[in-house]
Structure 1
């Protein structure tokens, strides 16, 4: 099936056209629109910082008499907040010791599970599926990895490899369930994956209160992972950055090759463009749905391994946190490309690393960072809004990337 055939196939009618149309519209946004979406979100976040600052509120009473004081206080509040955010995420020369100066490594640590789970969502997007179940897949990947990590005694290198494989298998099983239901019964993957998220969250809580509970602990938490099952620290004990980041980079390379250089990746993209046309061309659409969700789930499972063997060291009910839903934002911001997802994950890792610095050093609520992230989602999901704001014309060549 040639490239021209794929473009023509994308125009053909087929089932679930509306869902694929939304995916194509999101994926068709240019890089300029994505950057402007982040800028607009930061501007609105700056306005929120200014109007909630005590100094700005006090100066507003003298706005008509001394407007300069108001604007000066607003600028000072916003610049201090975003300055602290930047320094906390990259480099802070004002820190008391050199360990506190290198916030970039915290950014990479936070970005590691986001890269892996973002790739999971990206891969499903390219096949025309909405994988909203990254959270459940992360949890199950962590459960499987934990069962091997603190439940078995193996030689050091073999133990870590077994943990990685177990985590990938756990996530793949959870993703494969959604893929199989989609392929065999036509069940919508959004509903299925959301329900699987709830099941995984309840299941891990049950296991932590019973089979996986640490001896003598009153809290639902597992025993610590064996040292042989942990990712080695890349920069020594003073930094949290671990070898899971290398695994994430390798996953980006693998997904990029899969989508752009392999026959299977071509099938995924053709199915995402139009499953009816792909079926006519001899591709097994149902097999494609199952395979893409298996691989997507495995990537999310690796994110669970990164959390468990790299950061938390023990399994708890909040092992996934907000990573599963942040992954959707990362995939959208990255325009559903592997390297775009990588850099979007770095941005969100910077938000997480710098948000704490902003709260501590600028006395700004860390919830402002969450507002900015939510605004990015809003603007990324509505490219026409950004184009209208900046009077950007849609390029004629812009269309479905699948």
Structure 2
């Protein structure tokens, strides 16, 4: 495949020796030529050297104009070489479109495709906090590439299981802010998602990192409150007004499984009646997917108390006050309680009540039932044992 890039002067009619004429660029690939496009560079007829493809002269203006012409040629050649590397069919019109219309063309590098993936696949589909997490991970990958590998970026074809293993080791042992094994694994999953996107874009034939085994930190016991602890928190009468509000909000989480951001955004319009059953209809904060939660009687009583419009309490303040309340109610494990513990408590409450796993998964808004199983497997084991003991089978 042969490519030619040449500049031609388009002369004006009735021009004199001092008239400036614009230079136009043409691209030819294997004998096929695109229509000329302007370079926005103008000079006189006598100053243009068509054979040498440059403007004659030695002053500063001429030097800058010739540098511009060389830059145009280099930029087009760079686009041509990138297309060839990606195995794409190259035409002069395609190159012209890439250069003139600034058609998006992404270099085959990790950081470039990471940015493209976030902008095209994540923006508008994920909440801002999720985008922030992706951008934070981008900065950490960039830190590894620039400070550890001493390069500006790395080609997609260079991302191998070995590269990810070294990145994982860097994150867990060398980085200024060291990551846990699980956090490092999330980073690797992020890069894998970018490579999967590159496969969809037909930049890579396959994802070369699929064989790498993911490593997670030892699983921590799940934190949740027992039914007895929830009742103790609910029945205590000595709370001050501000603390009582937070207790009510936390209890609503225990009965609905709503996350903090979903809880404070709730209003009466989220309550719909479906077949005689009141349901909370919300968009899950993480997935932005619609979710329907049956409104249990204890939650309904609490929501009606506030006319379905809960006060705005910052998450950090709510966590502080719910610990204070639990301590006043003499819960031994008061220090473990956070708003997220309320969400986990809901899952446990429903499973212990005999609600099927797939129903609990839907109420909690998990994308996959495997997520629910992973978090609640210990509880299920305990529930099975207790049930078998209750029936006298063991």
Q: TM-score if structure 2 supplies the norm length?
A: 0.22
More helix by share: 1
Q: TM-score if structure 1 supplies the norm length?
A: 0.22
| Structure showing greater Rg | 2
